[in-house]
Amino acid sequence: MTELKNDRFLKALAREPVDRTPIWMMRQAGRYLPEYRASRAKAGSFMDLCTNPEMACEVTLQPLERYPLDAAILFSDILTIPDAMGLGLYFETGEGPRFKKTVRTEAEVQALEVPNVDDSLGYVMKAVSTIRSALNGRVPLIGFSGSPWTLATYMIEGGSSKDFRRAKAMIYDQPEVAHLLLDKLAQTVTEYLNAQIRAGAQAVQIFDTWGGALSAQAYEEFSLRYMRQIVAGLIREHDGRKVPVILFTKNGGLWLEKMADTGCDALGLDWTINIGDARRRVGDKVALQGNMDPAVLYASPKTIRAEVKRILTDFGDHPGHIFNLGHGITPEVDPEHAKAFIEAVTELG
C-alpha cells in the first residue's frame, strides 16, 4: 500500500503528539456541497449513490478537494446492514429512511440471518478499496457502521422514530428477543467493519445515534454491551498499522467513563459536554473527537473562529484531540462557513 502522507488523524487517535489538531467533519460528503448535489442528481436515488463504488468514491473525495481535512470517511449509510438482512431500505423524500419489512416479533428476529457481508455488502468493500486507491495516501480513510441498538431501532420501528416506542417495548417486555436481535447485529457489524478494514479502512467509527435516548441502565444492557462485543472482535492491526476504533454515542455525555472502558481508542463527543470536563473524566485512557455544535456553522465566520478557539482552549495542551462537529454537518450550511471552521482549526489547533 502507498505510504500515508498525512497521519495527524491516526497519531492523535493514538494520543501521540501532532503538529496541529487534526480535523474532519461528520457527514463531510453531503448535501451542503453543490458538487455533492450534482453527483446525487446524476446517480439517481441516494441508495444508487451508495451502491455505486465509483460514485461513492467521487463524493467521498469532494470535501477533500475543497478543504484541508485530515481524514476521509467512506460515503455510505448506516442502514446498509438491515438492508443486507433483507428489510428493503428506501428513502421517502422529506421522511427519511424507511424499511419495507419490520422486525417486531420473536419469530421475525429468529428468522433474521446474519448476512455474509462480502456477498451482500460487497459494494461497500468495493467502495472502500476504490476510495483508498484514489486517496493514494493523501489522508487516512475511516470506515463506519451504526451500532446494534441504533440499527435495531430502525428495524423495529420501520424507520425514524420520535420516542422509539416499539423498540423500547421490546427491550422492556421481551428482553431476550431484543438480545437475540442485538447479538445478530453485533456479529454482523463486527464482520462488516472487519471487511472494511481488510478492504482498506484505516480507522473505524461506530455511530450510536440513538443510545442517548435510553435510560442509563438500558444503555448499558442494550447498547454499550454490544459495542463492547464489537470492539473485542475487531481487527486492531492491519497492514502494519494499528486500526483505531472510535465510539460515538450522541447524548452519551453521562456515560463517558463506561464508554472508555470498552477498549475503544477514542470517544466522539456531541456538544452538550465541555471537552475539558470530558478529558478530566476519561484522563489519558482514550482520545476525544469533537465537539462543536453544528449549529455554530450558521453563525458568522468570526463567531465560528471564536468557538473553535474556545474548544481548543478547553481541551488544553494534551495529545489526543481530533476536532470535529458534535454531529453531522447539516444540508443548509454555507460551504464558506464550513471553510471558515476548518481553516480556524488548521490555524489555531
Q: Where does this chain touch a second copy (CB under 8 A) — which range of 55-63, 118-126, 201-209, 251-259?
A: 251-259
Q: Rule CB under 8 A: is residue 293 a binding residue for a second copy?
A: yes
Measured between alpha carbons, how far is 300 from 304 in angstroms, rounded to an integer?
6
Question: What is the C-alpha separation between 168 and 230, in angstroms, rounded?
Answer: 22
Of 101, 263, 303, 339, the one binding a second copy by CB under 8 A: 303
Cell 473525495 -> residue? 61
Q: Is it true that the peptide bond before 291 is cis, omega within 30 degrees of 0?
A: yes
Q: How would you classify residue 175: left for phi > 0, otherwise alpha for psi between -120 and 50, otherwise beta?
A: alpha
Residue positions annotated with a catalytic role: 27, 31, 40, 77, 154
Contacts of 186 (CB under 8 A, 6+ apart): 148, 226, 229, 230
Q: What are phi and psi of 190, to 5 degrees?
A: -60, -50
Q: 132 vs 250, which CB is nearer to a second copy?
A: 250
Nearer to a second copy, 6 or 272 (CB): 272
Query: Minimum CB separation from a second copy for residue 106, in Å?
Result: 15
Q: Among residues 232 and 295, whose Cβ is nearest to a second copy?
A: 295
Residue 258 CB, nearest distance to a second copy (Å)?
11
The reply to whether 93 sits near a second copy by the rule CB under 8 A is: no
Instruction: For residue 327, give the DSSP letter.
Output: S
Which of 55, 54, 67 is closest to 25 using CA atoms? 67
Does the protein bind a second copy through residue 271 (CB under 8 A)? Answer: yes
Please say whether the beta carbons of 282 and 307 come within 8 A.
no
Buried b (16+ CB within 10 A) or exposed e, 24-40: bbbbbbbebbebbeebb
Which of these segments, 8-16, 86-94, 160-168, 182-190, binds a second copy (CB under 8 A)? 160-168
Under rule CB under 8 A, residue 310 binds a second copy: yes
Binding mask 205-244 vs a second copy (x if CB under 8 A, - otherwise)?
Answer: -------xxxxxxxx-------------------------
Q: Is 300 in the site for a second copy (CB under 8 A)?
A: yes
**C-alpha cell read off for 300:** 458568522
Candidates 113-121, 166-174, 222-230, 231-239; binding stretch for a second copy (CB under 8 A): 166-174
Residue 6 in the binding site for a second copy (CB under 8 A): no
299 binds a second copy (CB under 8 A): yes
294, three cell numbers: 453544528
**Residue count at the site for a second copy (CB under 8 A)?**
37
Q: In the complex with a second copy, which residue's Cβ is closer, 195 or 218?
A: 218
CA–CA distance, 285 with 283 (Å, rounded to integer):
6
Under the criterion CB under 8 A, does residue 160 sit at the interface with a second copy? no
Q: Is there binding between residue 296 and a second copy (CB under 8 A)?
A: yes
Q: Any idea what DSSP says for residue 23?
A: B
Interface with a second copy includes 330 (CB under 8 A)?
Answer: yes
Residues near 217 by beta carbon (within 8 Å), at least 6 away in sequence: none
Distances from the Cα of 33 to the Cα of 67, 284, 293, 325, angstroms = 12, 36, 19, 16
Considering the complex, what minimum distance in angstroms separates the CB of residue 187 from a second copy?
27
Residue 102 contacts a second copy per CB under 8 A: no
**Residues binding a second copy (CB under 8 A):** 163-166, 168-169, 172-173, 212-219, 251, 253-254, 271-274, 277, 293-296, 298-300, 303, 307, 310, 326, 330, 332
